[in-house]
Amino acid sequence: MYKYDNYDQEMVYTRVAEFRDQVERRIAGKLTEDQFKPLRLMNGLYLQLHAYMLRVAVPYGTLNSEQMRMLAHIARKYDRDYGHFTTRQNIQYNWIKLEDAPDILADLATVEMHAIQTSGNCIRNISSDQYAGAAADELVDPRPYAELLRQWSSFHPEFSFLPRKFKFAVIASDEDRAAMRLHDIGIQMVEQDGAIGARYYAGGGMGRTPMIGPLIRDFVPVADLVSYAEAILRVYNRYGRRDNKYKARIKILVHEMGAEKFIEEVEAEFAHLQGQNIDAPAAELERIKGYFEDPAFETGLSDEIDRSDPDFAVWLDQNVHTHKQPGYAIAVISLKPTGGIPGDASSAQMELMADLAERYSFDECRVTHSQNIVLPHVRKQDLHAIWQKLVEAEFASPNLDLISDIIACPGLDYCSLANARSIPVAQKIAQRFKEIDRQKELGELKLKISGCINACGHHHAGHIGILGVDRKGTENYQLLLGGSGAEDVSLAKITGPGFDEDGIVDAVEKVTDVYVAEREDGERFLDTYRRVGMDRFKEALYG
Amino acid sequence: MDNLLRFRDDEAHEEPAVTLDGFLDQSNATAVRLEDGEDARQLLPFLDRLALIEIGFSAFGDGRGYSAARILREHGFDGEIRAQGDVLIDQIAFMRRCGFDSFSPETPLDPGDAEKALARWNHVYQHAADDRQPIWNKRHGQ
Ligand code: HEM
Ligand code: SF4
């Protein structure tokens, strides 16, 4: 994985010193809260219901064991012994004190980590495919391109006061595991005439006006990767709406301007930027790629796995993914135990994951956008040992991509914008479907819950989505069906009137009953919904 | 103009800046002011006879002026570009990089703080309107 050189390290240390100085000026009254707010936001510090929340960047979701141990240390020393892995492959701490924040950033800097641009109206941490470098279906590893964009976007002088936050995702396979087209800019690395280039999408997003990003350019040569991004950002910075923060995302600009006109503006800006030395020298991409070369895989390993332990076989079938290298597999640790908080991990669990990564996965792990942790490169012969350690730690839920593998935002338990609680609903649904056989019977089913219209829980992209709304002062939940954040991207639709907390759990059960009754061979829930349509489900719910 | 913080060797421009509309209405002014969101490209035909372009920031969070300044520099403007209005200490390093070379903030900046802010970053990651080499060029001996 990528390693800092002296330049990268100095940039991060400088930022720590700068932020320490800003916090001192705030405490001394030289900065008002209004003036301090954008500065703390650019360092990932939000003020929430009960305390400050700190969001730490995990570039393209990749961590080594030392970094994971540091995350555990921070949870233990500065928080309440746990952290929350997010849908943008980052980690958040919910109980931070302002005066500790500079020390936390200093601790993070010792392991090449930071909270730079994890909030605020700037270019955020860039996300990617959690199976990058391991998946059998990828064209190239997308992370070197994401790293190039990370450097370009860090402390960008022109784009630090954008109309609104700005999120990139970069993938390099046809299967989209990163909800790429629901990002402000989505990039798929593709091949044309033997050369690698970037297919650019722009103007996707969730929030209160969800949009699927349209194609902006089919092929941008790698040599222009950065200047094309610069052109898009400049058009957005100049023309994006600033009169209404709910209409300030690039998706609204692309929508109001029309994709065609938007493309025209971008192409004109791109033409103007030619010859301005915006792009990195080719040697830099080569240097970065050197850090993402395959680890020293053993050859000649067996693909046989002893399945005689039935509980192990269940986990194996559900949580293990095909690796490009014979004898190896990708193993996913579910952060969705029945009754737990989706995405939360204690410091002890983080340390266990660090140990497993170090011992079995070439010192690497990944955060997924569905809030789980991946061990990307494990020998098949080690899977049983890994599983046993997870079982001992009660950390072996075999529920990847099943109905209890829920994405849920923090909701009213933490968030000052929430209408309703998300976590208890997730817990009740997981409880209702707790028999793993029943979950497996329902197959792949992506259930996503947001506590308000801001959609942090990706409910628009759920096969089943749940949205918390406020109805005459009581918490109420709308049900949505038919969304997808994958390559078959679509936005979920609301079924009709909402439900109370217990009602929504019943409603989820009813729609799964419809699926079981209606499905044809091999159909997932989503496929059946798409074939039979909303009415059949509405009948069961309200009929 | 005691709030003026200037990074140029030539004499400060005395003539008051006219509005963009006033300027385009065939004024002979040599100083013009752009408000947030006014299109810097409208000035491109006249850069030769302008000595000062003032860019207003009605609120520090409105970043359109950064693009305006960079566009002017990318088209070769070498007169003064002044940031006026809600301009804060933590922004001036970015503004310098986008081509601003004078600052006239509503609330005066502490010159010591300003010096510290501008000296803070030894390296930069990307190309902008100044002549600083991005880290990725330095790495490869450029
Ligand atoms: C608890 C504090 C949080 C607050 C106050 C908050 C606030 C917001 C707001 C206001 C938006 C809408 C922005 C817009 O549409 O312009 C948003 C979007 C989003 N947030 Fe959060 N959020 C919080 C926590 C989280 C967490 C924990 C996650 C991840 C698990 C998350 C992931 C996202 C994502 C993925 C989006 C959608 C981005 C898009 O619209 O394209 N947020 N958040
Ligand atoms: S979706 Fe709403 S309730 Fe949930 S975290 Fe985001 S802003 Fe808060």
Confidence (pLDDT) at B87:
95
Confidence (pLDDT) at A365:
96
Distances, alpha carbon B55 to alpha carbons A43, A456, B31, in Å = 27, 36, 11
What 3 state SS string does B69-133 have? HHHHHHCCCCCEEEEEECCCHHHHHHHHHHCCCEEEECCCCCHHHHHHHHHCCCCECCCCCCCCC
A209 has a chain B CB within 8 A of its CB: no
Res. A49: pLDDT tops 80: no
- Tell whether ligand 2 has an atom less than 6 A from the beta carbon of residue A186: no
Q: Across all residues in chain A, what is the average pLDDT?
A: 95
Q: For residue B141, list chain A residues with Cβ-Cβ distance below 8 A.
A: none
Distances, alpha carbon A168 to alpha carbons A24, A59, A122, A183, A236, in Å = 33, 11, 11, 6, 14
Q: For residue A159, list chain B residues with Cβ-Cβ distance below 8 A.
A: 63, 66
Q: Which ligand is nearest to the CA of A178?
A: 1
Cβ A157–B139 below 8 Å, yes or no? no
Res. B1: pLDDT tops 60: no
Fold held by A142-289: Sulfite Reductase Hemoprotein; domain 1 (3.30.413)
Closest atom, ligand 2, to C-alpha of A411? 3
Cβ A234–B94 below 8 Å, yes or no? no
Q: For residue B94, list chain A residues with Cβ-Cβ distance below 8 A.
A: 155, 157-158, 160
Q: Radius of gyration (Cα) for chain B, nearest Å?
A: 15
Res. A458: pLDDT tops 60: yes
Closest atom, ligand 1, to C-alpha of A183? 41
Q: For residue A121, list chain B residues with Cβ-Cβ distance below 8 A.
A: 61, 63
B125 has a chain A CB within 8 A of its CB: yes
Res. A344: pLDDT tops 90: yes
Q: Across all residues in chain B, what is the average pLDDT?
A: 94
Res. A39: pLDDT tops 90: no
B112 has a chain A CB within 8 A of its CB: no
Q: Could you check whether A142-289 and A407-542 share the same CATH topology?
A: yes
- At A318, the amino acid letter reads Q
- At B33, the amino acid letter reads R
* % of residues, chain A, pLDDT over 90: 89
The residue of chain B nearest to residue A154, with distances taken between CA atoms, is B125
Section A327-356 average pLDDT:
95
Looking at domain A407-542, does it have CATH number 3.30.413.10? Answer: yes
- In CATH, what class is A317-392? alpha beta
| ipTM of the complex, rounded to two decimals | 0.97
pLDDT per residue over B51-82, tens digit each?
A: 999 999 999 999 999 999 999 999 999 999 99
Sorted by sequence, the CB contacts under 8 Å of residue A389 that are 6+ apart come out as: A352, A356
Q: What is the DSSP-derived secondary structure letter of residue B11? A: P
Q: What is the pLDDT confidence band of residue A394, given thresholds at 50, 70 and 90?
A: confident
pLDDT per residue over A225-274, tens digit each?
A: 999 999 999 999 999 999 999 999 999 999 999 999 999 999 999 999 99
Which is more confident, A343 or A38?
Answer: A343
Section A412-425 average pLDDT:
92
**Nearest C-alpha of chain A: how many angstroms from B16?**
26
Confidence (pLDDT) at A87:
87
Give the DSSP H or E segment for A142: none
User: Which class for B24: exposed (0-12), middle (13-18), buried (19 or more C-beta within 10 A)?
Assistant: middle
Q: What is the pLDDT confidence band of residue A491, given thresholds at 50, 70 and 90?
A: very high
Residue B96 in tokens: 């310098």
Confidence (pLDDT) at A301:
96
CA of A417 to the centre of ligand 1 (A): 10
How far, in Å, CA of A402 to CA of A424, rounded? 18
Section A94-106 average pLDDT:
92
Q: For residue B60, list chain A residues with Cβ-Cβ distance below 8 A.
A: 35, 38, 161
Confidence (pLDDT) at A155:
96
Section A402-417 average pLDDT:
92
Residue B58 in tokens: 């009605």
B41 has a chain A CB within 8 A of its CB: no
Q: Which residue out of A2, A21, A151, A238 would a mutagenesis test of the B interface target, given it has the greatest number of B Cβ atoms within 10 Å?
A: A238
Listed in sequence order, the DSSP H helices in A248-331 are: 250-257, 259-273, 282-291, 310-319
Cβ B74–A272 below 8 Å, yes or no? yes
A535 has a chain B CB within 8 A of its CB: no
Distances, alpha carbon B51 to alpha carbons A41, B28, B29, B39, B81, in Å = 37, 12, 9, 18, 9
Confidence (pLDDT) at A43:
86
Indicate the SS3 state at residue A440.
helix
Q: For residue A287, list chain B residues with Cβ-Cβ distance below 8 A.
A: 139-140
Cβ B64–A278 below 8 Å, yes or no? no
Q: Which ligand is nearest to the CA of A241?
A: 1
A37 has a chain B CB within 8 A of its CB: no
Give phi and psi for B33, each to the nearest 5: -120, 130
- At A501, the amino acid letter reads E
B126 has a chain A CB within 8 A of its CB: yes
CA of A68 to the centre of ligand 2 (A): 26
A contact residues 215-244, partner B, Cβ 8 Å cutoff:
226, 234, 237-238, 242
Query: Could you tell me if B56 and B84 are in contact, meaning their C-beta atoms sit under 8 angstroms apart?
Result: yes
- Tell whether ligand 2 has an atom less than 6 A from the beta carbon of residue A101: no
How far, in Å, CA of A393 to CA of A387, rounded? 10
CA of A481 to the centre of ligand 2 (A): 20
Section A404-428 average pLDDT:
93
A278 has a chain B CB within 8 A of its CB: yes
How far, in Å, CA of A513 to CA of A508, rounded? 9
Q: What is the pLDDT confidence band of residue A52, given thresholds at 50, 70 and 90?
A: confident
CA of A126 to the centre of ligand 1 (A): 15
- Of A368-377, A425-434, A492-501, B9-18, the poorest mean pLDDT is in B9-18
Res. A219: pLDDT tops 80: yes
Q: Would you list the domain boundaries of chain B?
A: 5-139
CATH match for B5-139 among 3.40.50, 2.40.160, 1.10.3470, 3.30.1360? 3.40.50
How far, in Å, CA of A251 to CA of A248, rounded? 8
Section A71-97 average pLDDT:
93
Res. A368: pLDDT tops 90: yes
B93 has a chain A CB within 8 A of its CB: yes
Q: What is the pLDDT confidence band of residue A396, given thresholds at 50, 70 and 90?
A: very high
- In CATH, what class is A6-109? alpha beta
B122 has a chain A CB within 8 A of its CB: yes
Indicate the SS3 state at residue A170.
strand
Which residue has tokens 């049900």?
A: A479
How far, in Å, CA of A20 to CA of A106, rounded? 9
B74 has a chain A CB within 8 A of its CB: yes
Section B120-131 average pLDDT:
96
* % of residues, chain A, pLDDT over 70: 100
pLDDT per residue over A503-531, tens digit each?
A: 999 999 999 999 999 999 999 999 999 99
Closest atom, ligand 2, to C-alpha of A419? 3
Ligand 1 site residues (CB inside 6 A) read A 46, 48, 53, 84, 86-88, 92, 164, 205-207, 249, 409-410, 414-415, 417, 454-456
For the entire predicted model, the pTM comes to 0.95
CA dihedral A337, A341, A343, A346 (to 10 degrees): -80
How far, in Å, CA of A75 to CA of A432, rounded? 31
How far, in Å, CA of A440 to CA of A420, rounded? 29
A157 has a chain B CB within 8 A of its CB: yes
Confidence (pLDDT) at A472:
79
CA of A455 to the centre of ligand 1 (A): 6
Task: Point out the residue among B36, B63, B139 whose CB comes nearest to the CB of A7.
Answer: B139
Residue A175 in tokens: 């299967």
**Nearest C-alpha of chain A: how many angstroms from B37?**
7
Smallest CA-to-CA distance from B68 within B35, B90, B91, B45 is with: B35
Confidence (pLDDT) at B2:
64
Cβ-based contacts under 8 A for chains A and B: 104
Task: Point out the residue among B128, B135, B142 whose CB comes nearest to the CB of A151.
Answer: B135
Q: Would you list the domain boundaries of chain A?
A: 6-109, 142-289, 317-392, 407-542
The residue of chain B nearest to residue A19, with distances taken between CA atoms, is B90
Distances, alpha carbon A424 to alpha carbons A305, A421, A468, in Å = 38, 6, 12
- Tell whether ligand 2 has an atom less than 6 A from the beta carbon of residue A454: yes
pLDDT per residue over A12-29, tens digit each?
A: 999 999 999 888 888 888
